[in-house]
Structure formats: C-alpha cells, structure tokens
Chain A
Amino acid sequence: MHILWRSFWAAVLLCASAASAFADDVRLTSRDGTLQIDGTLLTYDGEFYRVETIYGPLTLDGEGVTCDGPGCPDLNAFVADIRMSGTDRMAEVLVPALIQAFAARNGYSITREVTDDRHSTFALSDTERLRARFSLTSSTTAEAYADLIAEVADIALVLREPRETEVAMARAAASGDLLKGRRARVVALDGVVAITAPGQPLRSISLEQMAAAMSGDAARWSDIGGADIPIIRHLPAPHSGLLETFEDRVLTPNKLSVQEGATYHTSLKDLADRVAGDTFAIGLTTLSETGNAIPLRVAGNCGFETNATLAALRTEDYPLTLPLMLYTPARRLPLIGREFLNFTQDPAADLVIRRAGFVDQAITTTRFDDQGDRLAHAISQAGPEVSLEDLQNMVGALRDRDRLSTTFRFTGGTRLDVQSQENIIRLARALETGSFNERDLLLVGFSDGEGPAAPNLILSRKRARTVLRLLKEAAPDADFKRIKLHTDAFGEALPMACDDTEWGRAINRRVEVWLK
C-alpha cells in the first residue's frame, strides 16, 4: 500500500501532462479496495507490475494489489523476459557467451532460438519448466538507447554513456529519469585496431598516419611509411558506432573526415577476412574481431610503441581502448535478470570474456623488472626538468613493488574516464573482500610533460589523492587498519607515450597502483 501511494504521487507529479487515452487491459486494486489503477500492463517481473497509466508508467508491488482484466499475467507460470539490444559485437558474441556461462553455472539448460544473424533468444529452463527468455537484438548504441526509451529493451549494450539529447528524449517520452545517473557498467574491454594482411611489411603506424590512411587522405602505403602501392580501405558500416568512435577520437582531432572510395562492411568478420586476403588493404576493426589479419602497433614520434594486447587494454596504455557497457535504466529487472547482471561482474565471468576474444578487467600484476622499456625511455628523456635524482627517487619507491593492471586515467583535470570509474569499483571491492589485507598499496600519480615540471608534479600528486579519496568512499567496509594505502607522485618522470600529441599526453596523465 505504501509503495502504491508513493509511486502514485511520484507519477502524478512527474507526468501530469502526459495524460492520454489508453486501451486499459488491467485493473490493479489495493488489498483494502480503497485505490484502483487502470492501465496497460507493460511488464510483470514476478514481483512487480509495471503499468502504463494516464499518470505515466507506474511500478506497483504485486503483494499489495490484485489484478483483474485480460492483461493480467499468470502468477504461477511467470517466465522472466529480458530484452537486450545494442552494438553488434556485444549482442552477437560477448553477451551470448555470458548467457551460456551464466546458464551453465546455475544449472539451467539452454535452447538458442535463432531468427536470423541479428536476433536470437536464449530460453533457460530448469528441470521443472522454462524460467527465463533472454532476447538479443544486434543494432547500434544509438538504437539501443532508443529501444530503452521505447520500452522495447530492458538492457542496452553500449559503447558510451547516453548523450544529452538521449537523456532529454527519455524525459520527453515520460520515461522520467530513465537515463539519469551512472547506470552503465563496464563488462569488458575491446580495442579499436587497424589491421592488415599478414604479408603487409609495415607493422606500426602513428595515430596520425592511421587517421590519414583510414580517411583516404593518404592514398598510397608510401605516404605512411610503407611500399609504393595503393591503400585499399575497408571500414565498418557508417552507423556502426565503431566508425563513429574512431571519427570522434582520431579523425576529428586530426581535422579529417572519411573520403569516398572505401569499402564498407556491416560484418566485421567479412571486413577482417577481406583484409586478411589482400596485401594492399587496411581495415578498421576491433581487437576481438581481427580474424586472420594482423593488428598494427601504434607508435609515437618519440619512439614509443604500444600493441593492442590484453595487458595494454587493461591498463589503458593502448590509446584506443573501447569499454563495452551494459546500461540498465532506472526500472526493475526480474530477479534472474539481476542475477545475470551480477554474474557479468563476477570474477567467474572474466574467463568467459577472455575466451570470447575480449579483454576482462581482472586485476593482475606485472613485475618492476618488466618495466625496462619505460625506464629506458625515462632515462633517455631525463634532462633539466627531470633530474637523475628524481629518477633515482622513483626507482627507489617502486623497485620492490609490482604494478597492478588497474590504472586510472583522466578525461581532463581530475575527472576519471569511464573505464577508470569502473576500476574504482573493482579495486574497492577487492579491498573490501580483503584481497589486499596486510599489503601495501601505493597510488602513484604521473603527469604529461607539457609545461614546467613543478606544477606537473603538484597536479600528479592531486590526482593520486583524488583516487585515494574515491577509493575510500567506494570501499566503506574495507578494513583500512590492515591495508596500507598511501600516495606518491613523480610528475612527468615516467612517460608511457609521446607528449607531442593529445592522445599521448592523455596516456601519460595517470595514477598507477603499485603493490608490495
């Protein structure tokens, strides 16, 4: 009753203008008969009714009301229906693998009903009967948000947070604060990579060269440091989200746009297969779908090179990391749907994610000895700004420690990017479960090399402290008496990429975690 009233008045206040005619198919009556709601049943999740009414959508506790009308569900044969919509690689590869692993772990048998390559439904049954149907639609991030707003999807599989326009659209559609707040959870990571055939001798290019090659600005391989043969371009379909991401992150900063003459592919598999068979070809795809083609390394002008590897994506040392997110709107999911969401964040899912070809966010360590390349660079770049003493201090502080894969990066100033916000949650959970009890965690701030060294050092210290504060806030149950958690900062002393480009500087602005 209490919930009924609360929902009722909330809805009345929010959506008083949304009154319109509905073909009412259910009438929900409170147990004492004092209140009646007529409307169209949107969903019933086994516990709660969600009804479209003249006041907008209302959620009502099934315990508190009785249902009459043709739209009422059969309460004893409830089958959870969870509809997911979103980007192709998630809907076609990642989420199917997660659903199968989830079913196997919970003892459900599974039947996959295939309508076509873009629509599948996974029916999960226990020994008694059908329990849930997870339906998957492969589309794009933008369509996924549209499906959430139109209430034809319950979970969106997205590559980015909703845009302002999408949040506004949700509000206009009387979905209220559907897309408000931080509701995206990163489930896995992928990388945007440029691929070539195995026979192509050029193996590394800078992001600027990649931009020139993909846009068509560079017409021959010799323009980007290869042989004097034409570049044949293979790009993902324009609406695919992957190309949009590449445009936003690489082409636009380089003031380039895609010129005519490229071959577009709706399927990244086809794209990778075409590139693998053509030495002249270059293709834009994700690390999870390179097929038999080979990804190019990304090089900077000062000699740094990063390969899109599992480790480089986890630490976000590779510049084109792509967080894959599950976005759940502010509405209830049936119990099995919530269990599935929890499973995607469970360490047991990490292996499933890796096997499916994606990068998980497990916290792993690398030894100080494996940082040889970075140290060599630090030494070669030392000079008036970074003195020998600074380097010695840094080596002294880190020498007997291991670096965690968890790294925090900033979109500017001290605001964390999406992947790093997820890292806060992951690391906080590890702190709470005692994984680092009796250990010593050092949060080490670094900056880019632009500007004088002293302010950079201050800024890097500020970043490390920000991360420490966020971690403590996110882990209220951690036993900080048993964990030593402190900060240090070395400014621009240990660069990971070249400071002559914006993306290089973004990689260098970071907080690393070192464990003893």
Chain B
Amino acid sequence: MSSILRSAVVAVFCGVASPALTDGLPAAITPLFPKAALPSPEVPDTDILTLTRFNAAPVSSREVPDDIAEVVARQANISNFGTACGPSLSVSATSGAMLSVRLSAPCLPYDTVRLEHAGLAFTLPMPMTGELSFLLPALSETGSLSATLSDNSTLTASTPVPDAREFARVALQWNGEDHGELIAEAPRQLDGQMFRIGQSLDESGAVLQVFSRRIDDLAASGVVRLSMRTRVTTANCDTGQTARVRRVVPHEPVSTYDLKLMGQGCEAVGQSLELKNVLQDLKLAGN
C-alpha cells in the first residue's frame, strides 16, 4: 500500500503527472475491484517524503507512466485514459473473408498479446492505449479467435465466415525471433494476396504469413508455387526453426502440421535456405 502512495507522491513531487492522475484524485478513493477493500492509509514516513534517490534515479520516461498506469488501473480498474480496465475481444466478418478484430486491454498497455486462430498463433505488441484493431484472413469458417494476455487471462470470440470457402489459403506461422518468408509465385491472372501479421520480439513470439486467392472468380487454371525462404542466423544455425502450416483449400481436406527446419550449422550463418518442395503448390482450376 505504501508503494502506491509513494508513487503518487513521487509523481506529484517530480511534476510528472499522467493524464489519469491529474484528474485522478477520485481514483484514490474509488474502492478497489475486484480486490479487497482499501486498507487504511498509512502516514508516510518523513524519509520517504524526501525522496532524493528517486530524483537522481535514471528512470526512463517510459517506465514512470507505466508504473503509474498500473497503479491507477489496479486501484481503480480504470485505465490511463479513464476507460474501464476490463479487457475485451470482438471479431466480425468483413468482405473478402476477413476477420475484423478489436482487442481492448487498456490496463495492459505495451503488453504482448498472443492471438490464436484455427490452430495458428501470432504475437502482437499492444500500443500505449491498450486498444488494437486489425484485419486477419479467416482460416476457418467458424472464425474463432482467442487472445492470451500477459496476465494469462484468455479471451475468446468467434463469428461465422461463410465466404471463407471461396478462398484458397495457405498460412505459415513462424516461431521465434528470426522469421523466414512465405513466397508465392504465380502468373498474373492467378496472383493473390499475401498477408503478414504479427510481430515477434523474442523466442516466444510468432508471426503469421498467409497467401490468399479468391477462387470463385478464377477465369484461368494454373499453379501457384509456394516456397519458403529463411536466413541462417546465429540464433537458428544450431537449433533450427519451427513453423506451423495450415492449408485451407476448397475440395481438399484441411490440414495443419508442424515443421521443424533443422539447423544448417553455424558455418552457414548469413546464407539463406530456400525450400521449394516442403509446401505443396496450389493448383487452381478456373471456372
């Protein structure tokens, strides 16, 4: 408890006041929820009030508001911006069999969130506002999505995406910090879209790459070459890389499987590894 108070005092003392705090005095008297009732305030010690070492401490500008936001959120269940803390996830289907995703976790700004859809995962950093919205190509007709936040809470949402069956999609999830590329090569009349979603900052991160082609308006038949390319880095030359593939192609059974790209040896660092035979090419038949 004393730490909350101390931080508040620090903020006032240093003249660094977050937006929530300037008009946030009511926050201090709002009962904590769902936590237990506020304990009785402690009278600060005089040596805390001097706080000389805090003044001198090389605190980055980012950390200070972060702390405060956390404090306020925990205390009042209200974010820096005065919105309710309760995280929420919503998805809706938009044109082109895309999922429009809105994730709100205002009390966990700068957090990394892990999203899972149809067995594939990717990670995204939350902005300062704790509000995230993006488009994701649907990889199943049920369009269900789950988001795992850093406090290990999981949110789920789903929406039917009936027009997903009009698309041939091949998705590749790359795990880890260094990711490779999914490459699709096709004649112009067959060319589709490539989506790149997610940002991976460390070993636990993942990004998603999806090749998508509408098939109900195809005039020509042909083959889309799918290959993967990855760079041999000091991080993966020994242990290799892992990835996951999902293939959702009409008239084919849906398949999801794991890939492990074996380490190429650390003398190969800097080279790139091109794999043309691992992903089955996409054969598209025109109407």
Binding site for B on A (CB under 8 A): 92-93, 96-97, 100, 104, 109-118, 120, 138, 267, 269, 273, 276, 291-292, 355-357
Contact = CB atoms under 8 A, between A and B. Distances in A.
B40 interface: no
Contacts, number: 59
Given A269-B225, A291-B223, A92 B277 contact: yes
Contacts of A138: 277
A100 B273 CA distance: 24
Contact of B253 (A92, A104, A117): A104
A115 B262 contact: yes
Interface string B246-275: 000000110101111110000000000111
Nearest to B260: A113
A430 B276 CA distance: 39
B280 A113 contact: no
B1 interface: no
Contact of B260 (A93, A100, A111): A111
A92 B260 CA distance: 16
B154 to A, nearest CB: 23
B48 to A, nearest CB: 56
B100 to A, nearest CB: 32
Contacts of B102: none
A100 B275 contact: no
Nearest to A291: B223
Contact of A292 (B222, B258, B278): B222
A357 B283 contact: yes
B187 interface: yes
Contacts of B252: 355
B18 to A, nearest CB: 47
A318 to B, nearest CB: 20
Interface in B179-229: 185, 187, 222-223, 225
Interface of B: 185, 187, 222-223, 225, 252-253, 255, 257-262, 273-278, 280-281, 283
A269 B258 CA distance: 24
Contacts of B225: 269, 273, 291
Contacts of B185: 273
A11 B253 CA distance: 48
Contact of A114 (B187, B253, B278, B283): B278
Given A113-B262, A269-B225, A273-B225, A120 B257 contact: no
Given A116-B273, A116-B275, A292-B222, A111 B280 contact: no
A109 B260 CA distance: 14
Nearest to B283: A357
A114 B222 contact: no
B257 A100 contact: yes
Given A291-B223, A292-B187, A110 B258 contact: yes
Nearest to B251: A355
Given A104-B255, A292-B223, 9 more contacts: A93-B280, A100-B257, A104-B253, A112-B259, A114-B275, A117-B275, A138-B277, A273-B185, A292-B187
Nearest to A103: B257
| Interface-centre pick from B223, B274, B275 (highest chain A CB count, 10 A) | B223
Contacts of A117: 274-278
The residue among A96, A113, A120, A292 with the most chain B CB atoms within 10 A of its own CB is A292
Given A104-B255, A110-B257, A111-B257, A269 B262 contact: no
Contacts of B280: 93, 96-97, 356
A116 B240 CA distance: 12
B250 to A, nearest CB: 12
Nearest to B222: A292
